[in-house]
């Protein structure tokens, strides 16, 4: 399938379906705030695997490298992006992705970009697109970066590895002077193999392995499998899920602590992956609380295969709950910037700002206070964030009252280098060291 329109010279323009679908997806992401993974999943549902893979490569790669492509586009055009139509900018970004990050031949990247502009936007912009893509194609990526990012400062590293400068600053601060910042930035640009989780009592790792997965390095419930997770029967049936190994290890540490008798609470439960794991491990009862009604529905779906009676899902503002201190274990996987999951959310790095973090920190403090107040004396609170940003992690936990810090890395001693460099009692995982999201976990015991 392709789209046709005649050029100003009478030549019939033709755009293949994958490129047009990729362009439409990119417009939704950049103009409507859509999420790349959701858009591409929907857009490629009925495509043959080869074409679907090309769409995902174009969209995810363009979103991930957007800041770098934008700098090259501006240099090649000799003008700022703000002077161009947003749709034209997205055509140029797709052109850069094809030139610098795929096996598409240079002449094909130029020609298809011009044809895409002509059919999707109009003939009036084809001259500009032709000129800019041709100019970009005169040099390889290393040559462009040597000019635009010549140093080793954080601005140059950010441009070279497609991270906003402020994110590079914060990752360096969290990683510490002895950390390998370049290795971390590089790892953020590698799409991870989907990590599956066998839900205790419903599925086993052996079953996932039989479906083509490889056992996870450290999680007793995890298995990695390339391709579409829906191809695995246990996933389609809801007996297993998709969950990063870092998330699984945080739950492993929390549930390995010395816990008193009593029910468990998942305070920020949506969309329900951790809830399903906790439900399979809980010896008594799990209450899963989620502030958003729609996300609470997803939690219910994730728990649907477990027998009723030993869990309940409720919609509740986690900062003002009605319950008192009654839980032996409270898990607070708080809303955060998501800077630890940049591998899986390619567009998110360009949507976050320092203000994003500043706006979330008060909520994180409030949720941790609720978690502490919800926990029995002697019970354990697991404060989890999919972010290494110090303001969202240690900065929140160090202000907690009425708690003692548990040595969390000791509970996953099989995982090397899991201790935070600023305080070895906290877990901080890293993509370049552990192949997981940059997950933070603090375990606190209520006095």
Q: pLDDT at position 367, please?
A: 98
Q: Are 268 and 242 in contact (CB under 8 A)?
A: no
Q: How would residue 407 be classed by pLDDT, with cut points 50, 70 and 90?
A: very high
Tell me the C-alpha distance between 94 and 102, whole Å. 11
Q: Give a three-class secondary structure readout of the chain.
A: CEEEEECCCCCEEEEEHHHHHHHHHHHHHHHHCCCHHHHHHHHCCCCCHHHHHHHHHHHHHHHHCHHHHHHHHHHHHCCCHHHCCHHHHHHHHHHHHHHHHCCCCHHHHHHHHHHHHHHHCCHHHHHHHHHHHHHHHCCCHHHHHHHHCCCCCHHHHHHHCCCCHHHHHHHHHHHCCCCCHHHHHHHHCCCCCCEEEECCCCCCHHHHHHCCCEECCCCCCEEECCCCHHHCHHHHCCCEEECCHHHHHHHHHHHHCCCCCCCEEECCCCCCHHHHHHHHHCCCCEEEEECCHHHHHHHHHHCCCCCCCCEEEEECCCCCCCCCCCEEEEEEECCCCCHHHCCCCCCHHHHCCHHHHHHHHHHHHHHHHHHHHCEEEEEEEEEEECCCCCCCCHHHHCCCCCEEEECCHHHHCCCCCCECCCCCCCEECCHHHHCCCCCEEEEEEEC
SS (H, E, C) 225-258: CCCCHHHCHHHHCCCEEECCHHHHHHHHHHHHCC
pLDDT at 249 over 60: yes
Q: What is the pLDDT of residue 5?
A: 56
Which pLDDT score is estimated for 8? 52
State the pLDDT at residue 14: 85
Q: Does residue 11 have a pLDDT over 80?
A: no
Compute the distance between CA of residue 92 and CA of residue 74 in angstroms, rounded to an integer: 10
Question: CA-CA distance, 337 to 130, in Å (whole number)?
Answer: 38
Catalytic residue IDs? 386
CA-wise closest residue to 154 among 89, 95, 79, 67: 67
Taken in order of first residue, the domains within the chain and their CATH numbers are: 2-144 (1.10.940.10), 195-446 (3.40.50.150)
What would the pLDDT profile of 282-299 be if each residue is shown by its tens digit?
A: 999 999 999 999 999 999
pTM, 2 dp: 0.94
Give the confidence band of 322 by pLDDT, cuts at 50, 70, 90.
confident
Q: Mind listing the pLDDT tens digit for each residue in 410-442?
A: 999 999 999 999 999 999 999 999 999 999 999
Give pLDDT tens digits for 166-203.
999 999 999 999 999 999 999 999 999 999 999 999 99
What local confidence, expressed as pLDDT, does residue 1 receive?
46
Instruction: List, for residues 194-240, the tens digit of each pLDDT value.
Output: 999 999 999 999 999 999 999 999 999 999 999 889 999 999 999 99
Does position 10 have pLDDT exceeding 70, yes or no?
Answer: no
- The pLDDT tens digits of the residues spanning 67-112 come to 999 999 999 999 999 999 999 999 999 999 999 999 999 999 999 9
Angle between helices 17-32 and 106-120 (to 10 degrees): 60
pLDDT tier, 59 (very low <50, low <70, confident <90, very high otherwise): very high
Q: Which residues are CB-contacts of 96 (< 8 A; sequence separation ≥ 6)?
A: 62, 65, 69, 72, 73, 133, 136
Band (308; pLDDT cuts 50, 70, 90): very high
| Average pLDDT estimate for 377-387 | 98
Query: Quick one: pLDDT at residue 4?
Result: 53
Q: How far apart are the first and last CA of the chain?
A: 66
Find, among 161, 48, 153, the residue nearest to 101 by Cα: 161
pLDDT in tens, 273-285: 999 999 999 999 9
> Cβ distance 145 to 155 under 8 Å?
no
Q: So what's the pLDDT on residue 274?
A: 98
Contacts (Cβ under 8 Å, ≥6 apart) of 314: 287, 288, 289, 290, 296
Give the model's pLDDT for residue 9. Answer: 58
Structure tokens at 424: 């070895």
CA distances from 376 to 257, 258, 370, 371, 379 (A): 14, 13, 12, 10, 5
d(CA 415, CA 427) in angstroms, rounded, equals: 10
Report percent pLDDT > 90 for the chain. 95
Mean confidence (pLDDT) of the chain: 96
* Furthest CA-CA distance within the chain: 79
């Amino acid at each position: 399938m392709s789209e046709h329109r005649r050029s100003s010279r009478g030549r019939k323009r033709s755009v293949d379906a994958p490129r047009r679908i990729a362009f439409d997806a990119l417009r939704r992401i950049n103009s409507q705030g859509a999420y790349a993974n959701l858009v591409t999943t929907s857009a490629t549902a009925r495509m043959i695997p080869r074409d679907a893979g090309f769409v995902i490569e174009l969209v995810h790669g363009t979103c991930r490298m957007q800041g770098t492509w934008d700098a090259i586009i501006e240099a090649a055009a000799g003008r700022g992006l703000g002077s161009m139509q947003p749709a034209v900018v997205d055509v140029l970004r797709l052109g850069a992705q094809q030139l610098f990050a795929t096996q598409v031949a240079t002449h094909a990247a130029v020609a298809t970009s011009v044809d895409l502009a002509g059919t999707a936007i109009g003939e009036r912009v084809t001259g500009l697109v032709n000129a800019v893509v041709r100019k970009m194609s005169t040099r390889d990526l290393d040559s462009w970066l040597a000019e635009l990012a010549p140093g080793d400062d954080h601005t140059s590293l950010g441009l070279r590895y497609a991270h906003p400068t402020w994110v590079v600053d914060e990752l360096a601060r969290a990683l510490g002077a002895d950390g390998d910042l370049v290795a971390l930035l590089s790892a953020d640009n590698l799409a991870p193999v989907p990590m599956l989780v066998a839900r205790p009592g419903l599925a086993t790792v052996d079953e996932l392995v039989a479906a083509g997965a490889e056992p996870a390095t450290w999680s007793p419930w995890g298995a990695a499998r390339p391709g579409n997770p829906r191809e695995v029967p246990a996933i389609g049936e809801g007996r297993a899920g998709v969950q990063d190994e870092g998330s699984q290890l945080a739950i492993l540490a929390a549930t390995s602590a010395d816990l008193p008798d009593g029910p468990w609470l998942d305070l920020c439960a949506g969309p329900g992956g951790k809830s399903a794991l906790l439900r399979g491990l809980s010896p008594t009862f799990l209450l899963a609380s989620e502030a958003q009604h729609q996300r609470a529905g997803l939690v219910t779906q994730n728990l649907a295969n477990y027998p009723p009676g030993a869990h309940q899902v409720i919609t509740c503002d986690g900062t003002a709950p009605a319950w008192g201190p009654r839980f032996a274990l409270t898990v607070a996987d708080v809303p955060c910037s998501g800077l630890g999951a940049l591998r899986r959310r390619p567009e998110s790095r360009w949507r976050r700002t320092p203000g994003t973090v500043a706006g979330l920190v008060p909520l994180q403090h409030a949720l941790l206070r609720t978690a502490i107040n919800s926990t029995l004396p002697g019970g354990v609170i697991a404060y989890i964030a999919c972010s290494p940003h110090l303001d969202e992690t240690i900065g929140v936990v160090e202000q907690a009252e009425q708690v003692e810090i548990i040595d969390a890395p000791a509970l996953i001693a099989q995982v090397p280098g899991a201790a935070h460099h600023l305080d070895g009692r906290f877990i901080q995982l890293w993509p370049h060291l552990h192949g997981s999201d940059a997950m933070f976990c603090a375990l606190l015991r209520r006095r």
